[in-house]
Amino acid sequence: MVSVDPEPRGAADRALDPESAAWVRELTASGPVHDEAVLRVHALLVRVARAEVRRRRGQLAIAGPELDDLAQQAADDAVVSVVAKVGRFRGESRFTTWACKFAIFEVSNKVGRHFWQRPAVAMDAEDWDRLPDRFGLDPARAAEWGEVVAALRRAVAEELTDHQRRIFAAIVLNGVALDALVAELDSSRNAIYKTLFDARRTLRATLVAHGYLDKDATRQA
């Protein structure tokens, strides 16, 4: 994975739009001006978090007041991040867009934690029987993909590190949500994604080296 250039040329020197400048000024002030700005940004982030929780309620095993509690918790945590980081806001977007990002991210965190309320979620077992369904492999054409899946299974066993194998099994074979794994392992989304990214690259290279996949394209069946 690579870093990207975050700044369009000259953007770091861009003046904040008046509304964003007012938010920054008030949130970095002290006393009642600061407190009132915190209340206003909290109200904004509660609305955003509630809307996001409603949008993602299909991923949650909770409903009603518990959904609202989750949104409130996400907004509370997002406000803490916004207030702590407002000094780093440079105006490359509107302040409200920047602040809403934290509310959306905190909803993701909370949704990930709630994943474990589902019954019988296995994390460490390797349930290879789920793989065909996970990738839409037609059982009627098992003669075509059976060899590739067997080679993939060997590559998972032989080529991945223990940590990569654990992450691969949890996400790919057992259907654990990535953010749920972040919560379970007290890790970060970036770290888990990077582990899976490296595992995917290793597995693909192994299948290519053994002739199961073409280097630049899928082998034709």
Partner 1 sequence: MSSWQSLERFLRTDPLDAGCAETFELLDRYVERQLAFGDAATRYPGIAAHLASCNPCVQDYEGLLRAISGPAGTPE
**Binds partner 1 by CB under 8 A, chosen from 119, 136, 158, 162:** 136
Alpha-carbon dihedral angle through residues 215, 170, 106, 101, given to the nearest 10 degrees: 10
CB under 8 A: which stretch of 1-9, 75-83, 115-123, 156-164 binds partner 1?
A: 1-9
**Could you give the string, one character per residue 7-26, with x where binding to partner 1 holds by CB under 8 A and - elsewhere?**
-x------------------
Q: Which two tokens stand for residue 184?
A: 């379970």
What residues numbered 58-87 form the site for partner 1, per CB under 8 A? none
Q: What is the DSSP string of 55-121?
A: HTGGG-S--THHHHHHHHHHHHHHHHHHHHHGGG--SSS-HHHHHHHHHHHHHHHHHHHHGGGSTT-
Alpha-carbon distance 60 to 218, whole Å? 36
**Binds partner 1 by CB under 8 A, chosen from 20, 27, 52, 75:** 52
The pair phi, psi for residue 91, each rounded to 5°, is 80, 20
Positive or negative, the CA dihedral 46, 49, 51, 54 is negative
- Residue 113 engages partner 1 in binding (rule: CB under 8 A): no
- Residue 220 engages partner 1 in binding (rule: CB under 8 A): yes
Q: Which is nearer to partner 1, 98 or 166 (CB)?
A: 98
Catalog residues that contact partner 1 under the rule CB under 8 A. 1-4, 6, 8, 40, 43-44, 47-48, 50-52, 55-56, 92-94, 96-98, 100-101, 103-105, 107-108, 131, 135-138, 141, 144-145, 148-149, 152, 172, 177-179, 188-190, 193-194, 197, 200-201, 203-204, 207, 213, 218-221
